[in-house]
């Protein structure tokens, strides 16, 4: 299962109102490390279905969301629980590190 494409239109419903933690991957198509992390993010999405959500935010298309999360470098991964950022890390990481961010 692929990660959910997060936009400003679906952000509140998919992230802020979620009853499970949400891992957000802030990325761009031109970013080499982002392209390495992308497939792992998609794999993780299938593995955590039901206990967490995984979303991808294209920083070129969703500049307002990137700004709201103060994203200065990509890839940036953020976990939102109960409407608040509980964890945020910059840089490529493996799937286990992403699971650790989610507390799984």
Q: Which domains does the chain have, with CATH numbers?
A: 4-102 (3.40.30.10)
Residue 58 catalytic? no
> Pick the catalytic residue: 3, 15, 24, 31?
31
Residue 1: is its pLDDT beyond 80?
Answer: no
Using alpha carbons, list the distances in angstroms from residue 59 to 34, 46, 55, 89, 91. Answer: 11, 23, 13, 16, 15
Which whole number is the average pLDDT over 36-57?
Answer: 95
**Is 34 one of the catalytic residues?**
yes
Are 44 and 100 in contact by the 8 Å Cβ rule? The answer is no
pLDDT tens digits, 70-87: 999 999 999 999 999 999
Catalytic residue among 6, 15, 34, 52: 34
Summarize the confidence of residues 14-43 as an average pLDDT: 96
Question: For position 2, what pLDDT does the model report?
Answer: 80
């Amino acid at each position: 299962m692929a990660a959910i494409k997060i936009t400003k239109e679906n952000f509140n419903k998919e992230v802020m109102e979620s009853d499970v933690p949400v891992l957000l991957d802030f990325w761009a198509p031109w970013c080499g490390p982002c392209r390495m992390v992308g497939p792992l993010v998609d794999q993780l999405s299938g593995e955590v279905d039901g206990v967490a959500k995984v979303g991808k935010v294209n920083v070129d298309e969703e500049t307002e969301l990137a700004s709201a999360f103060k994203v200065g470098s990509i890839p940036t991964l953020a976990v939102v629980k109960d409407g608040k950022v509980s964890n945020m890390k910059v840089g490529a990481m493996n799937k286990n590190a992403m699971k650790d961010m989610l507390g799984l």
